[in-house]
Structure 1
């Protein structure tokens, strides 16, 4: 997919936002002392904040990361099976039906893996934030996507070298690999490269259609295996004895990186703001034209998150489901319990009602986000309104009631 200058500008801005928004080590405020624990909210409560931290860590976040690793491994297996059949078909040792079945199976497994990842996207803590989100970006670099770069790496991997050095996917830039690259490799039926005519990958135009398909599938296997490696790294950094999960659960104890349990709760609450900065703004407002996009200011299906798989609407749904899991504790102790304990039952009830309303609005759409943008953009605007109802309360009643701080990117944001 070729990017226009406007799209490139959007990507640059979006990437800058992502690196800033997800690196939440420094929280900001709407004025000196705003929600620093000294003003606003009920801090005189006996609510067990460590129980909340443990519940969200053990019942929500850890299972999500573990499920992602499991799905990522299934994804590698499915893509490997598809690629084996692509080679067999090229050598006339398998039939078209078998090839099609294994390709569809690989695509379905990508969707299953992406579903879990889109929930993990809203749980960006610890290892997913370290070093400007480097691990997160290796798994999924959106909105920094470079399909031309993927085409180049297909050829580099095929040749086995890059600039005279052995090909090593771990050294490649994030926008050339990860789940977004896999989407392009598995779902894009156009066998031409996506670069400009003058920047074609060396050797691409000399390949037959069959060779292009096998080359893409071979690189897809490599990308999928790299995702498994990075999923392993995420689990290790999260779950090991000195991992971030234990750091959260040891908040307020001697030697903890969190001086108080409330500091750790604040860090967990920061993750919820992904729904504001990225789900609401990047995934909905930009494509529907409420914010500037590559079409100017009108609805623009070119700017959806997952354009080849048409999975964009499901991505949004999974972001909201992850928000709900953190909010409710996924049948454990959640932020809603904390709100009720401090006397903000109305806020807890209204936020849950708004979550349900947004999910219902998504379920009622009978087609893809791209098609809805092209034919009924007002329906997407309604979803934006529904999600905004959630995030407006998140930025006001929620943080005020719990005496929490706004993350840096939400300070002063009245949208």
Structure 2
């Protein structure tokens, strides 16, 4: 097990103070359809105009900077892994490729809970308007087949546009760059360092290309999905009402409940969740999201941070909490903010860091009690689940009801 990694990228929006909105006249059931004017005082806007204003701030201040950041990080990763492939036994070049992967992964994890539009699914229960399935070409967690990757590399094959999602992307790159076993799949004739590096270079190129494609589909001078988002209820082809865009955002944010809380925390800690296999041992560290790099906790932090930012806004912009304040639910806005603060503060101060904290769980009962009553005396990884569950219960319960937000169809009837 490699040594745990430090958080390389601090919270990009460190507990941003929200821009206070006084929208006492907001009508969440209204469908005004009137054109939103950026010069109009916020207090003069009601109903759909307020929703659209908040959607615009989320699009301009959260989606676009994050997409641009990941595109740049993916390019750096591509260059670093290509250099590593040119001299696969050079430790300095491999370390540089690992660092580039960490930075690209952290950048992507901020986008993971925002799987709508081109990143989202095009079909299925949770298919989204404008979905183009691009996320799975970048990162397919929890789907990953390391032995398929090893076999493809040993046969001098490479990633292409038609490659299976479970054999490429950031997950495959973690295996190729951080695995220290000479024959991890008992192939007899495993891939050499050069073969793994070459396969990694093709995977990094693919991630770079898809990252650029995703960004261009959002850019105003490209596919302009941002324009579709910002004009919901006016000229948008995909969102006939601003509430429809808010519902797409809500469905995406359930990732933090169902993937971050359940799959990334409950699953490896042994706490368990519905539709996930129970641990045969006290905990299951092998189910950690990024065990090889020791960065599972960093991933969780980025997931929670973007959730926080969508609610509180960034750079003096507005977020979903402003909708709550507009209907006199300051209590819920304050509650979700305090609960998310508790999660992020716990992640910042966890000793040991999350990946090692999962390894350190020795008492299943103490873990269950720790998630029910999170605090300094509880096992750290189990307390993290408890803190996040408190916040997600507030989101999926009173907040979703107050703002009439949709839940994923795939989560219907799920009360975890």
Query: Shorter-normalised TM-score: what interval?
Result: 0.7 to 0.9
| Partner SS, residue 180 of structure 2 | coil
- The separation in 2 between residues aligned to 1:320 and 1:129, in whole angstroms, is 19
- Deviation per residue, 1:234-290 (Å, 9 max, x gap): 112222554432211121125632221121122122221111010000000111112
Deviation by residue 1:278-322 (Cα, 9 ceiling, x = unmatched): 000000011111215463263111110011101101100110011
Distance 1:257 1:171, change over 3 A: closer
Does 1:371 find its partner at 2:356?
A: yes
Q: Is the 8 A contact 2:264 2:289 kept in 1?
A: yes
Tell me what 1:117 maps to. 108
TM-score, scaled to structure 2: 0.78
More deviation, 313-322/260-269: 260-269
Aligned residues: 346
Partner of 2:228, secondary structure, is helix
Tell me how far 1:370 sits from its aligned partner.
3.2
Indicate conservation of the 8 Å contact 2:159/2:203, yes or no: no
* 1:213 Cα deviation after fit: 0.8
Unaligned segments of structure 1, at least 5 residues: 2-40, 90-98, 161-166
- Pairwise mapping of residues 1-400 of structure 1 onto structure 2 (< 5 A)? 42-43=28-29, 46=46, 48-86=50-88, 99-132=90-123, 134-156=133-155, 158=156, 169-194=160-185, 197=186, 200=187, 204-205=189-190, 212-239=192-219, 242-254=223-235, 256-291=237-272, 292-293=276-277, 295-296=279-280, 298-331=282-315, 332-376=317-361, 378-400=379-401
| Unpaired segments ≥5 residues, structure 2 | 2-26, 31-44, 124-131, 362-366, 368-378
Q: Are the structure 2 counterparts of residues 353 and 51 from structure 1 closer, same or farther at C-alpha, using a change threshold of 3 Å?
A: same
RMSD of aligned Cα (Å): 2.2
What TM-score do the two structures reach when normalised by structure 1? 0.78
Q: Which shows bigger deviation, 258-267 or 223-232?
A: 258-267
- CA deviations on 1:6-39 (whole Å, 9 max, x unpaired) are xxxxxxxxxxxxxxxxxxxxxxxxxxxxxxxxxx
- Tell me, yes or no, if the aligned pair for 1:347 and 1:398 is still in contact at 8 Å: yes
CA distance in 1: counterparts of 2:335 and 2:284, whole angstroms:
32
Deviations 1:178-222 (A, max 9, x none): 00000000000112142xx5xx38xx35x7xxxx11111111111
Using the TM superposition, give the Cα deviation of residue 112 of structure 1 relative to its aligned residue in structure 2, in angstroms. 0.4
Shift of 1:100: 2.0
